[in-house]
């Protein structure tokens, strides 16, 4: 099948590479000429396991191409995926300018019937807006061309996006007619062989399903962090509580790990966008506001723990930070807890020595001019001469460190663990003062 994907961010690039992997002819379109030039050589600009090899294989096999020419993309595809960003506006709403701009481009260059697939995360009603924009441009051209608009939200986890696409737990199809559904069923057949993962619904329901999924997961995280705050004050251990409630199959163990808050490109943006949509529909949704409020408070908790141990004035003190990405297996630092922590420490006069396995270049891009930041090539080098070590990301390589070496490098044997990756008894037996989340 001939597939066009407009947008080569996380969603677009993974979608294009995976569809090419199963034999489709895929053309990816982006306005960023530098990014397209890199991708044409197989150089993937984001850190995502398995994605570079898949892109390079698709290029070598002639199934995956990249261009800046949107007209070529519209002409190429029988399936036209819209996978551009929907950044938040100041009021929290999703900015649909890029989505609707692509819809206008489709209307201008469309020559034959196609299926337009909205892969971007968008508010309810966007499929209708996309349909209206394409139809209006076609009318201006006096062109009578049939097309369908399908809502097909993504459910890709950064760090596991390729695996999520190749072996999905569900494929949501929001469509208005049977013919469009059957075309989507054929496109996704290679990913749907074991059992039927397609869930068919109307476009508004599909659009809300994406937001509902992310908000549900964000709510679990914020609720667990709220319980962690209670546990800490009551003398209970939230990790024992987590195991106790996770054993209930109605709750389960997923997304009930306490920590220093969620970040990334999805949860914060989608919670705010759904909250904004609720206001537009004159619906009071206090729980959505509470989810975000708890998360914002949680991101400031690491600073509070450092200050409680070292004092309000951190001038002349150095703090080591392990983990800069918002989660493991990605270099994404958007809304990462590490950023809130480091910026708070700098305001208090502290120096930061930081290490992350893959997000160092991203940190340089964001904070290249910050004199109070030293990016270290080794996690132990970050500890050298520091008053405390703060763990912001639960990378596997941090789980079994050389405590003796850490003890010799740190000026004070203080660990603030924002992800509860250590056993308190073990760390304290090694001679450290240990502060975690929700643990007495």
Q: Which of 424, 10, 6 is nearest to 238 (CA)?
A: 424
The SS3 call for residue 274 is: helix
Residues 221, 215: Cα–Cα separation, whole Å? 10
For residue 13, give both structure tokens: 């690039």
- 396 burial type by CB count under 10 A (0-12 exposed, 13-18 middle, 19+ buried): exposed
Residues 90, 13: Cα–Cα separation, whole Å? 27
Q: Which of 237, 257, 214, 291 is nearest to 418 (CA)?
A: 257
Which residue is it, tokens 């024992």? 240
CB neighbours of residue 180 within 10 Å: 19
Which residue is it, tokens 């120096």? 351
Q: Are 310 and 420 in contact (CB under 8 A)?
A: no
Q: Are 328 and 416 in contact (CB under 8 A)?
A: no
Residues 96, 86: Cα–Cα separation, whole Å? 6
Q: Which positions ≥6 away from 199 have C-beta within 8 Å?
A: 170, 171, 172, 173
282 in the Ramachandran plot: left (φ > 0), alpha (ψ -120 to 50) or beta? Answer: left
Give the relative orientation of helices 203-234 and 267-280 as an angle to the nearest 10 degrees.
120
Q: Please give the helix or strand (H or E) that residue 29 lies within, else none.
A: strand 25-29
Given the residues 266, 376, 383, 392, select the one marked as catalytic: 266
Residues 427, 434: Cα–Cα separation, whole Å? 7
Q: Residue 383 catalytic?
A: no
Residues 398, 379: Cα–Cα separation, whole Å? 9
For residue 439, give both structure tokens: 């643990």
User: What residues are labeled active site?
Assistant: 266
């Amino acid at each position: 099948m001939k597939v066009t994907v407009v947008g080569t961010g996380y969603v677009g690039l993974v979608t294009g590479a995976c569809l090419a992997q199963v034999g489709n002819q895929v053309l990816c379109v982006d306005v960023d000429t530098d990014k397209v030039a890199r991708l044409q050589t197989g150089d993937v600009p984001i850190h995502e396991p398995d994605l570079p090899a898949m892109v390079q294989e698709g290029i070598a096999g002639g199934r995956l191409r990249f261009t800046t020419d949107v007209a070529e993309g519209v002409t190429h595809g029988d399936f036209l995926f819209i996978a551009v960003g929907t950044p938040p506006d100041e009021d929290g709403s999703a900015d649909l300018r890029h989505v609707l701009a692509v819809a206008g481009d489709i209307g201008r260059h469309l020559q034959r019937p196609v299926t337009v697939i909205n892969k971007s995360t968008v508010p309810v009603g966007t499929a209708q807006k996309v349909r209206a924009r394409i139809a209006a441009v076609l009318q201006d051209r006096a062109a009578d061309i049939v097309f369908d608009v399908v809502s097909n939200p993504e459910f890709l986890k950064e760090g596991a996006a390729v695996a999520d696409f190749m072996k999905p737990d569900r494929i949501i199809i929001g469509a208005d007619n049977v013919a469009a559904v059957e075309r989507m069923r054929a496109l996704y057949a290679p990913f749907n062989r074991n059992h039927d993962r397609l869930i068919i619904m109307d476009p508004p329901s599909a659009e809300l399903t994406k937001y509902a999924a992310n908000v549900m997961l964000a709510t679990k995280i914020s609720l667990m962090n709220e319980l962690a705050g209670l546990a800490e004050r009551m003398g209970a251990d939230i990790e024992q509580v987590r195991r106790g409630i996770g054993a209930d199959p109605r709750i389960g163990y997923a997304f009930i790990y306490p920590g220093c808050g969620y970040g990334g490109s999805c949860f914060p943006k989608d919670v705010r966008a759904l909250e904004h949509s609720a206001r537009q529909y004159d619906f009071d949704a206090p729980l959505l506001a509470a989810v975000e409020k708890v998360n914002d408070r949680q991101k400031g908790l690491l600073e509070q723990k450092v200050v409680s141990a070292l004092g309000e004035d951190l001038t002349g003190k150095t703090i080591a930070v392990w983990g800069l990405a918002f989660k493991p297996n990605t270099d994404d630092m958007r809304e990462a807890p590490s950023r809130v922590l480091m910026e708070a420490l700098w305001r208090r006069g502290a120096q930061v020595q930081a290490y992350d396995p893959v997000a160092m270049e991203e940190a340089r891009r964001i904070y290249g001019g910050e004199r109070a930041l030293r990016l270290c090539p080794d996690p132990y080098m970050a500890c050298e001469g520091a008053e405390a070590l703060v763990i912001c990301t639960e990378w596997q390589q941090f789980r079994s460190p050389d405590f003796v070496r850490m003890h010799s490098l740190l000026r004070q044997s203080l660990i603030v663990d924002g992800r509860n990756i250590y056993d308190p008894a073990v760390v304290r037996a090694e001679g450290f003062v240990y502060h975690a989340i929700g643990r007495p």
